[in-house]
Amino acid sequence: MSLVGARVLRKEDPNLLTGRGRFVDDLAPAGCLHMQFVRSLEAHARIVSVDTSEAEAVDGVLAVFSIRDLADLPTLPSSPEGMGRPILAKDKVVFAGEPVAVVVAEDRATAEDATERVVVDYAPLPVAASIEVALAEGAPLVKEELGTNSPFGMGPDAAVAAETDAVFAAAPHSRSLHLVNQRCVPTPIEAQGCVADWGPDGLTVWATFQAPHHLRNKLVDFFGIPAHSVRVIAPDVGGGFGSKIVFSPEYFLAAEASRRLGRPVKFMQSRSDAMVLTTHGRDQIHDVDVAFDDEAHVLALRLRVIQNVGGHPDATAMGLGVLTTWMASGCYRIPSIAAGFQVCLTNTTPVAAYRGAGRPEAAYMIERVMDLVADATGVDPAEVRYRNFIQPDDMPYPSATNEAVVYDSGNYPAALQELQRLIDYDALVAEIAENNADPSKPLKGLGLSCWVEIAGFGPNGSLEGFGHLGSWESANVRIQPDGSVIIAVGTSPHGQGHETTFAQIAADELGVDFDKITVRHGDTATVQQGIGTMGSRAVPVCGEGVKNSSAAVREKAKLIAAHLLEANPDDLEVGDDAFSVRGTPSRSVSWRDVAWASFQPLEIPEEIGAGSLEDTRFQTVPNFSYPSGAYGCVVSIDRVTGEVTVDRYVCVDDCGVVINPLLAEGQVHGGAAQGIAQALYEQMTYDENGQPLTATLVDYLVPSAADLPHLESGRVVTPTPVNTLGAQGIGESGSVGAPPAVVNAVVDALRAGGADIDHIDMPVTPEKVWSVLREHGIIAGGGS
Amino acid sequence: MSTAQTMVNVTINVNGSDRNEVVAARTLLVHLLREKLRLTGTHIGCDTSNCGACTVLLDGHAVKSCTVLAVQADGCAVRTVESLAAPDGTLDAVQEGFRQEHGLQCGYCTPGMLMAVTSLLTDNSTPSDHEIREALEGNLCRCTGYEMIVRSVRWAVDHPNGLEAPA
Amino acid sequence: MIPASFGYVRAGSVDEALAALAEHGDEAKLLAGGHSLLPLMKLRLARPEVLVDIGRVADLRYVREDGDAVRIGALTTIRQLEFDETLAAHVPLLRASAHAVGDPQVRARGTIGGSLSHGDGASDLPAVALALGARLVIRGPSGTREVDIDDFFLGFLETAVGEDEMLTEIVVPKCGDAGWSFQKFNRRAQDWAIVGVALVHGNGSGPTGVGLVNMSSRPLRAAAAEEALRNGASATEVGALAAEGTEAPSDLNARAEYREYLARVLVERAVAEATI
């Protein structure tokens, strides 16, 4: 029975369910010290002085560092050119919460007490807390040395822009939208932290990180120490969503503190720390124009994106706009697209990747645009999409956005058809119309989201631009003397179930029992070089590597089995932990015997040699993969209060071949929940002084089970040619596809109720909806 | 008797065993469990009593152990996630439900979820899906979107003896 | 995450608690369920030097009938209110509103006395106490006194309970056949109300009152709406007066104007529900 495609329960669960998970804060090495930050309360200010003397005098405090004590250390890795971020604030702070000093003490309580004794004198500066203020004439400069708050941008190409303008000029119709994709906070339930232990034999760092080798490589560069002496371990990691791939100061500070003090040092964020210290997500403003004809064919698109990157930009933030503009075409054949972006520094927490990283923003934009075209032409929103879809026969489809973007596979009409079938589309539309004719009932709306995203990072060169060692991913498959298997992979999971998924792939290729396979990850001492987990790459890149390594080992094992059976290797089959001669199942030898023999030179041909049943490869892929789907959302709006309720949410996904349908569905649910949360609840808000107003989970509204709808799933499968698995990856799909379906449904409902609006911004709060109802004179009954 | 103490002697029955510790008055119950007793299954996810990752049973009811001082639990019985499975590792019905229905991904919120669900099923052994979601309004998960958590609880409701053959 | 250091005193009785308060004065705070105080202490927004733990004062946990009233011990948990049969029978508004507070874990620890003594205009139970016309029993060094609910909430987080006193009992009238309703409008299920309404309508044979949640910095009656209700006005007419005399806050969740609007809507809905 093939395990690829099977609903296999997870190997990871028994430990996690019994409280045996080992997360960074669970580690308590002997003599461990505790580190806490002194965080700036000012969003933009010169640091006049930092007085650590009172804090140093607190009993139990071993050291207090500010930048003057760390002058020899370089700036943090992954700062873009010319925007180096010091390891602690130097000369000035550029966002509220920026660490100014660090206390190291015997225990956490003492460290927290001592942080209150550090006296920092600030000379406040004018604050640029928003894109509007930061880009205005005479705006305060976040980094004076740059001479601007917008040091970088790309596109559109002048010739493309001119051509697109010409299409607009000749087009029958055009419309515009201004969209805000609001700042969100990834908020994994485990905040960020590390334990660093720098001893005579080298440096070991346990870190809540999505890419341990990547962190190891940067520690090597940062401290100028040899790689063989540095070990990074990502133990169990409680979610990441892109925020745990950023080189935050603590990973380097804890190491330096350990070096100086000769003891392990632990840092663990509180949630209040996390809300301002970990990188935020999204925060793009879009101005988009669409040209179309009477039949709702989209002729051209002009898109200008402004990406808020915060006070100390991370290199990742610079690339988000690239991904957004690359994916501006969505699922549609749009012949002319002029898209460009610029980044904008502000006095806010730095922005970096958050599940989807630039693609949710693109999908949101194009799906709102398609509904706008539907509203303008009177053509049904599904029909508009069918008329504009890239067809399956067009694959591989080179997008008009950039030559690097060639969609691998997908069947957008099939996904939408499947969605329509699941929700009984025509009947549903009729039912909603009938419902809306009754003013005593809540207003209902239906929203579609036909989306595509770029995943499976990536072809050679794609990740190097973000500072990674490569774009490949590593897999090592190694047969043990008893026929069981250890696999070491360079990806590093934080909930995705890699130990299970990769074992399924290997079990099929090797013919070894699933329970005899262990997948190891997250430790640079035991795993060959690796790149890490991000960009929905684990299955399409690493899974492919596991498959190919397993196949290579299998073929080598066949040589030994053939020798033991005195048969031809081409006549052998493998399965159920044994090799047998095709057609003569009684002639078989167990994997155990083959494995044992592989270490016995006297048992095997001399040319094979001992220890041959191992393979290591650095798997590359020729292209990104482009998962897609069709999501549908039905909402009810209380005509009196404006409250929005999601009545139904259906996700049809196409990620190519599915390795484990249970885990794949879980990934969709998780991403969709974050997307619905962005549409209805979450917003990281700053006041004009750069003070974060939503700095705890009281105010930053991460929803619970009681606040989110039941989620339904469907599937379409178009295998990708990018790898032999046919799998595209699915980790970020839900967060890409989900928000537009909700907002489209809300706009649909409000328009049905008589509000002639083009758009409503996320999060769609009851008050926003109420304002629309009121402005358009369609608020119902009481309370006026 | 009215002298204010900063160090206090407490005796708490944890997972069936009486534990006697001297703690700073300001020690949170979750820190006593994790740091002193090394029961690290209970996790910390926030500092404003929202996320529920720290949920344990205190005298039989789910509470957020980050919002209880250890001294407040003196003389009480506490149960943590470590008490759910049998000594030989056999998962209880709630744990098995989460395994069968993929109710966990990263596993960080899971112990708190398991204890909150355990408490729910003590109050109401046949909750509706709505009642399940309501009972978990104080437990945040960022990985699952909750759909499979609800299915996991449903499994436990339908299989009160876990994977054992029915009696 | 970790509170500042403090001294800890455990009181086994009300007398012990009062003695501790007398000794430590304004440096001391009472600790009941801790779900108002401990979150503030963990963020170091509150730093009492002494905590007097009254969680173990056993004889303050009860719900008892007393003629046409129900007496509730101040340390009765919100969960206990939620499951109490006496309240179900005689003061269903209190039981229903208890279920709406926070989440199950919070309800297992929070106490009615703690909630009322904290006196937060954004909390649910103070509005319920106002609607019911509760009476509060307070003990201090000079003995026991009873305070009307209308004399209890004095200002922002300020109640009639003196620094050396302790709330020991809450007395609410039995509601008989009075209609009632509890309306809570919030974003997430575990959130405080953006606006809430506690309403009881005795129609002559029981208490009548309308309490508002989060329409002012202190718990507040909707006095004008209440008067109209007593005079037999319609749900719409009563609702229209809901925001009179309030000072609704503006915050991230809602501007004052929207709160005032919601108050009118929710009071109208509450009256309609109470008169079914």
- Tokens representing A576 are 């159920």
CB contact under 8 A, B41 and A9: no
Count of domains observed in chain A? 3
Last residue of a domain, one of A590, A619, A648: A619
Within-domain flag for A426: yes
Q: Tell me the count of A-B CB pairs closer than 8 A.
A: 186
Closest Cα of chain C to A281: distance in Å?
20
Within-domain flag for B69: yes
> Are A288 and A310 a contacting pair, CB within 8 Å?
no
For A719-755, the DSSP string reads --TTSTT-B---TTHHHHHHHHHHHHHHHHHHHHTT-
Last residue of a domain, one of A619, A640, A665: A619
Residues A256 and A292 in one domain: no
Separation CA A322–CA A343 (nearest Å): 11
Task: Assess C34–B contact: CB distance below 8 Å, yes or no.
Answer: yes
Within-domain flag for B142: yes
Residues A289 and A238 in one domain: no
Query: Considering only CB atoms, which chain B residues are within 8 Å of A25?
Result: 34, 40, 43-44
**In this complex, which chains have at least 3 CB pairs below 8 Å with chain A?**
B, C
Query: Considering only CB atoms, which chain C residues are within 8 Å of A766?
Result: 185, 187, 194, 258
> Are A651 and A713 a contacting pair, CB within 8 Å?
yes
In the DSSP assignment, the letter for residue B35 is I
Among A23, A696, A708, the residue with its CB nearest the CB of B145 is: A708
Q: Which of A229, A232, A194, A247 is nearest to A527 (CA)?
A: A232
Residues A435 and A493 in one domain: no
Count of domains observed in chain B? 2
Helix ranges (DSSP H) in A42-85: 53-56
The whole-model pTM stands at 0.98
Within-domain flag for A211: yes
Residues B71 and B112 in one domain: no
Is there a cis peptide before residue A692, judged by omega within 30 degrees of 0? no
Within-domain flag for B87: no
Within-domain flag for B166: no
> Residue B101 belongs to a domain with what CATH number?
1.10.150.120
Cα A656 → chain centroid = 19
Residues A615 and A676 in one domain: no
> Are B102 and B156 a contacting pair, CB within 8 Å?
no
CB contact under 8 A, B43 and A673: no
Closest Cα of chain C to B26: distance in Å?
6
Last residue of a domain, one of B53, B82, B111: B82
Query: Considering only CB atoms, which chain A residues are within 8 Å of B80?
Result: 19
Task: Assess B73–C contact: CB distance below 8 Å, yes or no.
Answer: no
Q: Which of B51, B56, B48 is nearest to B72 (CA)?
A: B56
Q: Which of B151, B145, B152 is nearest to A668 (CA)?
A: B145
Residues B75 and B103 in one domain: no
Three-state DSSP class for A587? strand
CB contact under 8 A, C5 and B24: yes
- Tokens representing A445 are 């709306």
Query: Considering only CB atoms, which chain C residues are within 8 Å of B43?
Result: none
Among A28, A191, A663, the residue with its CB nearest the CB of B102 is: A663
> Are A94 and A347 a contacting pair, CB within 8 Å?
yes
Closest Cα of chain A to C147: distance in Å?
33
Share of chain C above pLDDT 70, in %: 100
Name the pairing type of β-strands C28-31 and C50-53.
parallel
Separation CA A189–CA B57 (nearest Å): 20
Residues B106 and B139 in one domain: yes
Query: Considering only CB atoms, which chain A residues are within 8 Å of C238?
Result: none
Residues B67 and B130 in one domain: no
Average pLDDT, 10 consecutive residues per value, chain A (784 residues):
95 98 98 98 98 98 97 92 93 98 98 98 98 98 97 96 98 98 98 98 97 98 97 98 96 98 98 98 98 98 98 93 98 97 98 97 98 98 98 97 96 98 98 97 98 96 89 97 98 96 98 98 96 94 98 97 96 96 94 98 93 97 97 98 98 98 98 98 98 98 98 98 97 97 98 97 98 93 52
Residue B22 CB: number of other CB atoms within 10 A?
Answer: 10
| Confidence (pLDDT) at B165 | 55
| Confidence (pLDDT) at A784 | 47
| Confidence (pLDDT) at A1 | 80
Query: Considering only CB atoms, which chain C residues are within 8 Å of B137?
Result: 103-104, 188-190
Last residue of a domain, one of B48, B82, B116: B82
CB contact under 8 A, B143 and A710: no
Interface of B with A in 4-23 (CB under 8 A): none
> Residue A585 belongs to a domain with what CATH number?
3.30.365.10
Separation CA C246–CA C260 (nearest Å): 8
Task: Assess C38–A contact: CB distance below 8 Å, yes or no.
Answer: no
Within-domain flag for A171: no
CB contact under 8 A, C42 and B137: no
| Confidence (pLDDT) at B4 | 87
Q: Which of B147, B102, B151 is nearest to A711 (CA)?
A: B147
- Looking at this predicted complex, what is its ipTM? 0.97
Separation CA C69–CA C133 (nearest Å): 11
Which domain does B62 fall in, by range?
Answer: 7-82
Task: Assess C103–B contact: CB distance below 8 Å, yes or no.
Answer: yes
Separation CA A130–CA A687 (nearest Å): 9
Query: Considering only CB atoms, which chain C residues are within 8 Å of A113?
Result: 4-5
**In this complex, which chains have at least 3 CB pairs below 8 Å with chain B?**
A, C
Closest Cα of chain B to C19: distance in Å?
7
Q: For residue A575, what are the β-bridge partners?
A: A578
Residues B12 and B76 in one domain: yes
Residues A581 and A523 in one domain: yes
Residues A437 and A481 in one domain: no
> Residue B67 belongs to a domain with what CATH number?
3.10.20.30
For A303-354, the DSSP string reads EEEEEEEESS--HHHHHHHHHHHHTTTTTB--SEEEEEEEEEE-SS--B---
Residues A330 and A401 in one domain: yes
Last residue of a domain, one of B28, B49, B82: B82
Query: Considering only CB atoms, which chain B residues are within 8 Å of C105?
Result: 52, 55, 62-64, 116, 138
Q: Tokens 């990502």 sit at which residue?
A: A234
Query: Considering only CB atoms, which chain C residues are within 8 Å of B57?
Result: none
Residues A356 and A491 in one domain: no
Residues A288 and A309 in one domain: yes
- Per-residue pLDDT of C200-230, as tens digits, reads 999 877 789 999 999 999 999 999 999 999 9
Task: Assess B67–A contact: CB distance below 8 Å, yes or no.
Answer: no
Within-domain flag for A147: no
Query: Considering only CB atoms, which chain A residues are within 8 Å of B84?
Result: 17-18
Within-domain flag for B2: no
In which element (H, E) is residue C20 found? helix C14-24
CB contact under 8 A, A21 and B41: yes
Residues B21 and B69 in one domain: yes
> Residue A237 belongs to a domain with what CATH number?
3.90.1170.50
Within-domain flag for B164: no
Among C43, C191, C265, the residue with its CB nearest the CB of A641 is: C265
Q: Dmax of chain A from CA atoms?
A: 93
Q: Rounded to whole angstroms, what are the CA distances from A270 to A34, A694, C38? A: 13, 15, 16
Separation CA A566–CA A585 (nearest Å): 14
| Confidence (pLDDT) at A187 | 98
Residues B97 and B148 in one domain: yes
Within-domain flag for B88: no
Cβ-based neighbours of A225, under 8 Å, separated by 6 or more: A202, A203, A219
Interface of B with A in 71-130 (CB under 8 A): 80-82, 84-85, 89, 91, 95, 98-100, 102, 104-111, 114, 129
- Per-residue pLDDT of C131-152, as tens digits, reads 999 999 999 999 999 999 999 9
Query: Considering only CB atoms, which chain B residues are within 8 Å of C35?
Result: 49, 67
Burial code (b: 16+ CB inside 10 Å, e: under 16) for A90-123 equals bebbbbbbbbbbbbbbbebbbbbbbbebbebebe
CB contact under 8 A, C264 and A782: yes
In the DSSP assignment, the letter for residue A19 is T
User: Vertex A496, ends A494 and A499: CA angle to 5°?
Assistant: 95
Q: Which residues of chain B have pLDDT under 70?
A: 1-2, 165-167
Last residue of a domain, one of A262, A277, A292: A277
CB contact under 8 A, A112 and C261: no
Residues A595 and A663 in one domain: no
Task: Assess C4–A contact: CB distance below 8 Å, yes or no.
Answer: yes
Residues B77 and B104 in one domain: no
One-letter amino acid for residue A480 of the chain: Q
Within-domain flag for A136: no
Q: Which of A540, A547, A718 is nearest to A625 (CA)?
A: A540
Q: Tell me the count of A-C CB pairs closer than 8 A.
A: 64
Within-domain flag for A674: yes
Within-domain flag for A463: no
Within-domain flag for A323: yes
Query: Considering only CB atoms, which chain B residues are within 8 Å of C51?
Result: 25
Spell out which chain A residues touch chain C, with contact meaning CB-CB distance below 8 angstroms. Answer: 108-109, 112-113, 116, 270, 272, 640-641, 643, 681, 685, 693-694, 696, 698-699, 701, 703-704, 706-707, 765-767, 770, 782-784
Cβ-based neighbours of C135, under 8 Å, separated by 6 or more: C146, C147, C148, C149, C170, C171
Residues A507 and A633 in one domain: no
SS3 for C60-101 is: HCCEEEECCEEEEECCCEHHHHHHCHHHHHHCHHHHHHHHHC
CB contact under 8 A, A643 and C2: no
CB contact under 8 A, A783 and C261: yes
Separation CA A570–CA A585 (nearest Å): 15
Residues B73 and B122 in one domain: no
Q: Tokens 């029958």 sit at which residue?
A: A172
- Tokens representing A21 are 């998970």
Residues A452 and A492 in one domain: no
Within-domain flag for B163: no
Which domain does A242 fall in, by range?
Answer: 13-125+187-277
- Tokens representing A130 are 């928003």
Closest Cα of chain B to A460: distance in Å?
30
Identify from C2, C5, C8 which residue to disrupt to test chain B contact, counting B C-beta atoms within 10 A and taking the largest count: C8
